[in-house]
Chain A
Amino acid sequence: MARVDLAFATVTFKRKIAYKTTWLFSILFGGWSLLAGLAVWSQIIGDGELGGYDWSAMKAYLVIGFLTATLAWAGSDWEMANRILDGHVAIDLTKPVDFQRARAAEYIGGMTASVPAAILGTALAALAFRPAPPVSALAALLTGISVLFIFPLAFCISYLATMTCFITQRFLGVQWAKDSLVAFFSGMMVPIALMPVWLQGVAWALPFVHFTTTPASIYLGRVDTAGALGLIAAQAAWAAGLWFIARLIWARLVKKVTIHGG
């Protein structure tokens, strides 16, 4: 990572923690979802099992969902979107810094600010609800690596969503649509294993599944070590692929920028 990337990341990190209430609310947002999930699934599963999840495993799944959602929603989507909406992108084009790389550094810097909140919330949830432990020490390690891949994946998907600002006037609805897709196809709303086979196929063909289902599957031992490494490789491939797709889309859409008076 070059010094300029670190500088961008640091600025966003500091900006995020400057608004302390926002920082605090990043835990509470996920907290509602976790509590609602626990209430629903405890009622549905009871003492039985559903889709291969007993109650203890489902609690672990939901806590991992809380952790991954806290990280996934913590980026600076709005800062990226506003640069396009308010025309700052025109100034960015004059700077000797690659636009996508600079936004990536900023975005990941913003996500990093949520890490303490995510860890604190996950620790509290683990203490309060006593979910199933990881299936092995290696699985715990691979789960950690899988969670790290959420950073580039979240950036690429959010960056692609902000590209719509070249053709729309408001970002809010696009953000909600993007968040909905991530929430549903990641398995945050309902585990992928409970979906019909054809929908599971659709989910596994998309990158969103790697936000929650992949780390949870590795943690709970639903895949063996080779399967876990394969899933992590798929995460890396999606991150790289989306990065280059974003470059192609940017190259086309940036032509829409009009600089008045110049």
Chain B
Amino acid sequence: MADLLAPRRPAGARHVGAVYTRAIVAQIRSITEYPADFWVMASAGVMWNVLQFAFLTVLFATVPDVAGWRYHEMLMLSGLFTVASGSTALLCDGVWSTGQMVLKGEIDYRITRPAPVVVQVATTHIGMQGFGEVAFGLVMLAYGWIGAGLGLAPVPIGLLAIACAVTIECALVTLFCAVNFWIKGPMSNFAFMLIDLQSNAMVLPLGLFPIGVRLLTMFVIPVAFVNFVPVAVLTGHLSAAWLVGTPLAALACVLAALGVYRLGLRSYDSSGH
């Protein structure tokens, strides 16, 4: 169905950027109408990070290191992951509604509009908890950075790591939410499972896990490139050569996400059919 209604000419990057910016700005404008909502949600976003911070502090009060990783290095792992996951809530929170929209046939009218469907869906919400998550994630990252004694020289690498982490995370969440085009359901279980995997396993040194998990997170679902690989390079646990993989992983994830979403739209047959 989507094939019949989709515009024949692919939208230009400038047009897509303009649509995305307008939609996000409209969402931000609506946020300012509900200040209480904003503060409740931003505080909720901080809560998880405060508790993750507390978890690491309690853990490292009893042991000096975990698999060779020290307290401040682990804070950097958690901080970078939090910045990335919080950014998805700010930049593409709407993709979590893909499953609901598919079930209710709400993709229909988005197909008829002259803008990419994935952009329209992604900009239907802003997860305001993302403001708190990103802010506290940056605090954790900076505190870990200073504590690990990294100094100012590797800051450009840190900025590249943040940009790639945000890109990979947004792309992977979009990709996993797109699974709902085929496996129907109101909840984006695959995307929830991705976040669950990351928040449980990827805030820990990868060396703790069996080889299968390491290979899976490096080369199949490259979540290791969100936080583990850049932080391991910065702190000297991995050689600098691994850093090349981070932008490559980001590019591969974006292409995969767009491809899977496009395939999903092709198989979309509206509701009730």
Contact = CB atoms under 8 A, between A and B. Distances in A.
B131 to A, nearest CB: 10
Interface stretch (B113-121, B159-167, B181-189, B249-257): B181-189
Contact of A177 (B34, B47, B127, B192): B47
B67 A43 contact: yes
Given A40-B66, A44-B66, A78-B187, A32 B197 contact: yes
A190 interface: yes
A106 B36 CA distance: 29
A172 B187 contact: no
Given A44-B66, A189-B55, A170 B41 contact: yes
A33 interface: yes
Q: Which of B37, B41, B185, B201 has the most CB of A within 10 A?
A: B41
A25 B189 CA distance: 7
Interface string A26-39: 00110011011001
* Chain A, interface residues (CB within 8 Å), range: 35 or more
* Chain B, interface residues (CB within 8 Å), range: 35 or more
Interface string A155-199: 000000000100111101110110011011000011000111001
Nearest to A175: B44
B72 interface: no
A33 B200 contact: yes
Contact of B196 (A22, A33, A44, A78): A33
B34 A180 contact: no
Given A22-B185, A170-B125, A177 B43 contact: yes
A139 to B, nearest CB: 26
A39 B69 CA distance: 14
Contacts of B43: 177
Contacts of B127: 170, 172-173
Contact of B208 (A21, A43, A50, A51): A43
Interface stretch (B12-20, B57-65, B237-245): B57-65
Nearest to A179: B48
B189 A51 contact: no
A40 B204 contact: yes
B109 interface: no
B62 A51 contact: yes
Contacts of B187: 19, 22, 78
B152 interface: no
Secondary structure class of chain B's binding surface, majority of residues: helix
Contact of B48 (A180, A196, A199): A180
Contacts of B55: 184, 189-190
A249 to B, nearest CB: 15
B195 to A, nearest CB: 9
Contact of B44 (A32, A176, A183): A176
Given A32-B193, A167-B37, A194-B59, 8 more contacts: A22-B187, A22-B189, A36-B209, A50-B62, A173-B44, A177-B43, A194-B62, A195-B58
30 contacts: A19-B185, A19-B186, A19-B187, A22-B185, A25-B189, A25-B192, A29-B192, A33-B196, A33-B200, A43-B66, A44-B66, A51-B62, A78-B187, A168-B40, A169-B37, A170-B37, A170-B127, A173-B40, A173-B45, A173-B89, A173-B132, A176-B129, A177-B47, A177-B129, A180-B48, A181-B51, A183-B51, A195-B58, A196-B58, A199-B58
Interface of B: 34, 36-37, 40-41, 43-45, 47-48, 51-52, 54-55, 58-59, 61-63, 66-67, 89, 93, 96, 125, 127-129, 132, 183, 185-187, 189, 192-193, 196-197, 200-201, 204, 208-209
